Amino acid sequence: MRIQPRQQILDIWSALLAACYRDGTWNWDIGETLESIDAVHTFELDDVFQPPTVSDFSEPERRPETVEQTTDPNSVSDSEQLHCLLFPATEIDSFALDREDLIESDVRAVLSVVGGAPRIGSFVIARLEEYIERNTRPDGEPDFASGRRLRSTDHRDLTAEQRQIEVVDAYSMSLSVCVAGMRFLRVYEGSLRGKAHREFIDRIDRLSDRLSTRLTAAMTGLVRSFVVNTMSPKSPAGQVLLSMLNQDGRLEDTVLREVRESLERVRARLRNDITLGQTPDTQLDDEGLLFECGWTWGIAKDAASVGFIDSAIARQPGIADTRPYLYFTIIALDGINDLISQRTRELDLLSEDQYRLAESLRIRWDLTQRYWSTVARFGPVGWPLEDIPWRTTDGDESDYYSLIVSAVLIQDLVNRTASDDDLTRAVAIFDELARRGRIVRRPTRDDPAVHLHMPGVQLSLVGTEEVGGGPRLQWQVSDFAPVLLKRTLQAARLSGNIEARDKLMQLAETTMDHIDRRMLRVGPAAGLWDDPGAVFGGDSQRQPEFKPSWYMTERMIESLVTADRTFREVPLRAASMVVRAVDLLNEADHLFNQVMLGVSVNDSSDNRRMLDEVEEYLTQARRLIDEQPGTSFSLASVALFELNKLTYARRDATRGA
């Protein structure tokens, strides 16, 4: 399936509005696929999905008017739902909604359901206000409760206190939404100068302040969720890490020495630069210990308070296990990436305290990527990352963990110079993960790989059992396919090797085929995700899924935005094509000059007009020879063809005379 980010994002926006916006009201609680894999559905066959169009919005009777409502809302799903709209609107210029006079026609058409272009800005503002209201506690503090997204590891129900537990997903997604919202408001308010009433401008200013307050809290939560875990090489955790690093059976002392040398700078900076909100007793001074760094699932147990932030989250006690979780690490890295992006810096959105927090997060972001990038590629022969599946230091192993380490590696390579060898080896890793994850192969009966997608990998949240006398909780992740898609597209964007890039793009398109088959086809949320049973169900009597997963839909939006960035890059150029283009251009130039020797200055014939066109072809070909040698080659070929026609015509004329 060809990836067409513009059309596919517009289709998702169409489906999003059809599902959530009715009679001027936004429905935040339309439901989660994660809760309904085994639900019984009753929709008729005439509800089967057709790609939404603008005309669908005038025919609401085509979709059922009601859906099963869920209680116990959570900030993570609210953030994901709103981010589906805001992320493209603030990351892709052609999707921008903050200047009503510049909104493109196809975007206007999709958003016509909210009114004309002048109403789009107020529509976005209303959604941001509702988001803040829904996720603010009665005492005015930002609320990051995870609610129904938390799962019990046994059959006991969650306690009321456990439903208020906060996870890194909530902080990271809130950070992304607040940054996107503040970007939108900054530009939108500027476009209204002299046009809007003071009351409306005041409303925007109040909303900006509230988004900024939530952003500060989210940043503080991420700072206090960062952990460094040290371990003895002889401990069970140390032995697991060494088993991953020692791919060629060398002496343990040799491996330890090389690990220490490879990570010396990371260790030094973790010891000296990471102080804000840090957990005590990391023992980084003991160079005989191994270590790992990243984000745990929430605020770490015994994490220090952040004294200069006047918010409950800066002081509330942490309960999370002081060991990095790969999933929460990549989630945190993605959120911080939005925070420190060029667009955020250009708009000068952050306060002095936020700049301080942002710098603290930037250091953590940088060191974490350096650590996992080094570990993933450690050793003189095989990479540990190539030894699939990856094993975490608690002894758990999964193809999903290999994918997450690959994602951190690619994110690190985005910010540094990636070698052709790095990306060529990444192609093989992604291809193997796609096969093992049954993206490019069909699943077999009782295939254990299916559990990567449904119900997904279960992450045990160590420490949650200490809250409210309830069970230990877990976090369910089932985004294997969209993570593979996004990171494959990122790798393709980095690749300077035409063959490697072609393989990556083929894999991305195959992954898109897989994900497209999982799109919801029935019910009010048709056109969104996720129905994994459509691919992995294996039962012809299976009832299709109808409740949307904002978790999966938001990750599809991220992947399509990544595709947009990839396609905007300059095409790769082969050195051999440059040489051929230069050779062709030199010949065409020489023949053109020969023909022009016999052309009169006052000649206004058709032949002279054709020579003017040939000259333009040659000018364009020379201008494009470095960036687009294939196009340059083609233009020079056209010029040679036209010159040959003119030469042949002159010979004919000479013979006739």
The total of other beta-carbon atoms located within 10 Å of residue 275's CB is: 9
Burial, 307: exposed, middle or buried (Cβ in 10 Å; 0-12, 13-18, 19+)? exposed
Residue 563 CA neighbour count, 13 Å, CB half:
25
Structure-block tokens of residue 408: 């951190």
Give the chain's radius of gyration (CA, Å).
Answer: 28
pLDDT at site 73: 66
> Where does residue 166 rank: exposed (0-12), middle (13-18), buried (19+ CB within 10 A)?
buried
From CA 641, how far away is CA 646, in angstroms rounded? 9
Buried b (16+ CB within 10 A) or exposed e, 133-150: eebbeeeeebbbbbbbbb
Residue-level pLDDT at 282: 77
pLDDT reported for residue 655: 53
Burial class (CB within 10 angstroms; exposed 0-12, middle 13-18, buried 19+) of 575: exposed
Strands 457-461 and 473-477: what pairing?
Answer: antiparallel
To the nearest 10 degrees (0 to 180), the angle between helices 198-225 and 117-134 is 50
What is the value of pTM for the model shown? 0.84
Separation CA 317–CA 304 (nearest Å):
9
- 563 close to 488: Cβ distance less than 8 angstroms: no
- pLDDT for the residue numbered 33: 35
Contacts of 237 (CB under 8 A, 6+ apart): 229, 231, 393, 394
In the predicted model, residues of the chain with pLDDT beneath 70 are 31-73, 196, 277, 281, 417-418, 538-540, 571-575, 600-604, 649-657
